[in-house]
A and B are shown apart, each in its own frame.
Chain A
Amino acid sequence: MMDWFPLWLSLEVASGATLLSLLLGVWLAWLLVNRNFAGKDILDAMATLPLALPPTVLGYYLLVAIGRSSWIGRAWEAATGTPLVFTWRAAVIASTLHAIPLLIKSSRAALESVDRACERAGRSLGASEWRIFWRVSLPLARRPIAAAAALAFARSMGDFGATLMIAGDIPGRTQTASIAIFDAVESGNTGLANTLVLVISVVTAAIVFLANRLERRRA
């Protein structure tokens, strides 16, 4: 009997990570487009860094940041009673970090492409920034943002290094599909590796196809 757990876990982790990076990424993109603040350039650079850094380096930083001895790790443990690292939640965090640069960049471009006059019109009509964002900017930018979210989903499903560093490789608990593929190949379980590779490839191809369609219909 085939063990489908890694695949389900990957889908769950990717869903969580997409949702998280969507919320965080669009918000950060909105900040970068609409607000001027100290450290804006630094935030801009930081947003790109996860794309450039080796995943293991990213994972190591995460380990330092949310490990059991860090204050975030301790606060989490005090609040929930369980450590944050080496759980599926840690995998979600790793995948989010992996995927968020894509969302920030695309959302930023999408929000920037919204006609400024429309946003100004909204303001002069008395609408709050919140209302303008939800009723004007976001609807006008939704396609490219949705496309970016789809790609972010694919990307977070594929994270390996950072997830391995921070969530580990615990079968039945934190072993995602990409890690399971590595394990299967290592241990000569070609059948399992083939199945997982095939499923991941089909799912990813479908997502990329969807993302492309979303992008194109914008024009």
Chain B
Amino acid sequence: MIQANIVKRFAPGADSAGFTLDVSFDAASGVTVLYGASGSGKTLTLDAIAGFVAPDVGRILLEGRILFDAEARVSLRPQDRSCGYVFQNYALFPHMTLRQNLAFAAHQLPRLERHRRIAELLDRFKLTELAGRYPRELSGGQKQRGSIARALIAQPRVLLFDEPGRGLDTALRADLHDVIRDIRNTFPTPMIVVTHDLEECLALADSVLIYDSGKIVHRGSPVELLRNPGTAAVARLLGDFNLYEAEVSTLDPGRQTSRIRMLGQDLKGPHLRGCFKGDRIALCARPEELRIAAKPGDNRIRATTPLRTTERPQSVRVDFGNDLIVDVPREVWSSRPDDLWVEVPAESLRQLSRDAAIAAPKAAERVR
């Protein structure tokens, strides 16, 4: 379990805007993915955990042990933090063979144990035959596995991956994901993976922290995030959402419903929190939650000719324009009537917060 609660500020420079990282999270065992655009502070978070960067404010604990505490002026050296770090460029020592790279990491183990462990990890990552090669003689995927094996030799208590899939082709990336899942299933070590690739994020994550401009704007399991993205910014980062602007006509908290004006029509809306009649709100809905219908009715919008249809594994994705993208089961689509309506069920509409970030207390206030 790793608990981090940190703030790091960078003053604006001559050619750079200022940047503030202000994040707070717990990462239990399993894979925690830090997901967000480049420059949102994900790698900086890893570096702070590993001890390469000292935050200005806050505290980092690993299994209850203090790695960093700004107030108590504690900052363990990277050597003493037991953090395995798999670097983006793998950072294998170029002047050592793969075996020597592993031996470098194993030098604190007793002699016999050392050889056993090196052999075991080489075998586990299918590197035994390549052990005598130098990093320049290895492929990207082999270097990646070598780098992971080297990090594991030192028996870390948390494993940090910086953009592990970057620069690997699709097949190698699938292999890498298998390796990471395999580690998750066999080592108790929590893993933190930085990525800006949505597919990688969804493939690996047990839980996701979404980064935007130095802040965590949303968190949850991949399923929860897809169900409720929270803000338009997150919905955009996660892709595939229909995003709507609407105006509140009536609120009925007693029956947990509302009426809203959306897409030029009066629709039944979901239970809305924190808004008043006449407010403009943002909503989203996933394409698979919308339906097509043959007759007009409640919450049905007259559909125009589709702009575009895309084949999906189980369905057809139909884009009617106006942010009406619907996933229609293939047999339903092939036997569709001429006149179409799109039904936007009230329960598919999720309210999005208007501000970019979901308000969270500042780390500075949380420290005590």
Contact = CB atoms under 8 A, between A and B. Distances in A.
Nearest to B105: A125
B46 to A, nearest CB: 10
A124 B94 contact: no
Residue among B79, B80, B108, B150 with the most chain A CB within 10 A? Answer: B79
B91 A126 contact: no
Contacts of A140: 93-95
B42 interface: no
A120 B78 CA distance: 8
Interface stretch (B82-90, B120-128, B213-221): B82-90
A123 B78 CA distance: 6
A115 B95 CA distance: 12
A122 B85 CA distance: 10
Contact of A115 (B77, B81, B85, B91): B91
A118 B85 CA distance: 11
Given A124-B84, A124-B85, A117 B91 contact: yes
Interface residues of A, number: 17
B79 A121 contact: no
A187 interface: no
Given A120-B50, A123-B77, A125-B104, A139 B95 contact: yes
Interface in B38-60: 50-52
A161 B104 CA distance: 48
B79 A128 contact: yes
B251 interface: no
Nearest to B84: A124
Interface string A56-93: 00000000000000000000000000000000000000
Given A120-B91, A139-B95, 16 more contacts: A115-B89, A118-B94, A121-B85, A121-B93, A123-B78, A124-B50, A124-B78, A124-B83, A124-B84, A124-B156, A125-B104, A126-B82, A126-B105, A135-B93, A140-B93, A140-B94
Interface of B: 50-52, 77-85, 87-89, 91-95, 104-105, 107-108, 150-151, 153-154, 156
Interface of A: 115, 117-118, 120-128, 131, 135-136, 139-140
Of all A-B residue pairs in the complex, the 8 with the closest CB atoms, nearest first, are A117-B91, A123-B78, A121-B91, A125-B105, A124-B85, A117-B87, A125-B154, A139-B95
